[in-house]
Amino acid sequence: MESKTQKGYLVLADISGYTFFLANTELEHANIAISYLLETIVEKMGAALTISKLEGDAIFAYLEEDKLPEGKFLLELIDEIYRAFREKAMALHEGTTCPCKACQTIPTLDLKFMVHHGDFIIQNVAGIKDLLGSDVNLVHRLTKNGVAQSTGWRGYALFTVQGLERIQADKQAFIRQSESYEHLGDVETYVMDMHPRYEKMKPS
């Protein structure tokens, strides 16, 4: 059956510090903590977006263009996911008496988002759905970026220019950067630090 090309928002939520956390802490407790955090992300993302797949330390989701209520909805959703992630990490840390390195370093984990607007095809093979397309490849390639090196941020939201302009967000709230990828060329991006936003959102 021929698949139809669709337009929409591609969102990747990726845990920062995941590789170091698993490699340098007790694996069993590290895995439990990561599982709780991923479940928190899935719960918040899945309430508004369609979850495509779990990719280790990341969750990939999408939203068809005509299903976005209004532009600010996507920014508000990212805020809500980030707040839930940070609050869960702190709750896990504060709720344990375990002295192991995994349990004690949970708050060092952070969360970053990649958001792009583009084309994709939903492929259905043997009952398994997957997204295909150059724009799908791009949003995944964006996880390899220069944000941490240039800003020091580990928790941030990175939008491509297509994604940001589509939701009509104010570019002045973001830092403009450029990434370059083989076969994809130069990509104009806009990045926002999630830490100040969380400080305004978190319970006093």
pLDDT tens digits for 19-69?
A: 788 777 778 888 888 899 999 999 999 999 999 999 888 999 999 988 888
Phi (first) and psi of residue 170, to 5 degrees: -75, 115
Domains within the chain, CATH numbers bracketed: 5-201 (3.30.70.1230)
Phi (first) and psi of residue 86, to 5 degrees: -65, -40
* Residues composing the chain: 204
For the segment 166-190, the average pLDDT, to the nearest whole number, is 92
Q: pLDDT category, 182, cuts 50, 70, 90?
A: confident
Q: Which of 167, 190, 203, 175 is nearest to 76 (CA)?
A: 167
CA distance 175 to 37: 28
Contact (Cβ atoms closer than 8 angstroms) between residue 78 and residue 157: yes
Interhelix angle 71-94/27-46, rounded to 10 degrees, is 150
Beta bridge partner(s), residue 104: none
* Predicted pLDDT at 162: 95
Q: Which of 134, 150, 131 is nearest to 189 (CA)?
A: 150
- List all residues 6 or more positions away from 138 whose beta carbon is below 8 Å from its beta carbon: 116, 118, 160, 181, 184, 187
* Predicted pLDDT at 2: 52
* Predicted pLDDT at 203: 67
Contact (Cβ atoms closer than 8 angstroms) between residue 122 and residue 6: yes
* Predicted pLDDT at 51: 94
The residue type found at 16 is S
- List all residues 6 or more positions away from 144 whose beta carbon is below 8 Å from its beta carbon: 181
Please write down the long-range contacts of 30-37, taking CB distance under 8 Å and 24 or more positions apart. Answer: 30/102, 33/89, 33/92, 33/102, 33/103, 33/106, 33/109, 36/88, 36/92, 37/85, 37/88, 37/89, 37/92, 37/109
